[in-house]
Amino acid sequence: MAYDATLDQQLFAKTWEGQGTKITVGVYSYNKGVKKVQMSREVVADEGRPGFAKLGRLTKEELTGILPFLQEALTKLE
């Protein structure tokens, strides 16, 4: 079965902004299935255009910034 964007439902999303990066924490459900947490990183490229990057490791500042979002996302999984 191919991915169908119309079946992907965003239930929650909050974005933390730091120096040259944004981290988004969201809760999604596909085809009314199990709710799952998704985290993504957006960085500003040298040309000033935004682009996505692997989330990878987090700094203390980043983790502290998104921790309240993760705790809120946890409540949305019930």
**What is the residue-averaged pLDDT of the chain?**
94
Range of the domain at 43: 5-76
In this prediction, what percent of the chain has a pLDDT beyond 90?
81
Which ranges constitute the DSSP H helices of 30-59? none
Tokens of 12: 């929650």
In sign, the C-alpha dihedral spanning 53, 56, 59, 60 is positive
pLDDT, residue 48, reads 78
The stretch 7-17 carries a mean pLDDT of: 97
Residue 46 pLDDT more than 80?
no
Q: Tell me, what amino acid is at 3?
A: Y
**All residues at 6 or more sequence positions from 41 whose CB lies less than 8 Å from its CB, including other chains:** 21, 22, 23, 52, 53, 54, 55, 56
pLDDT, residue 45, reads 76
CB atoms under 10 Å from CB of 23, counted, come to 20
**What's the structural domain count of the chain?**
1
More confident residue, 44 or 17: 17
pLDDT band at 75 (very low <50, low <70, confident <90, very high): very high
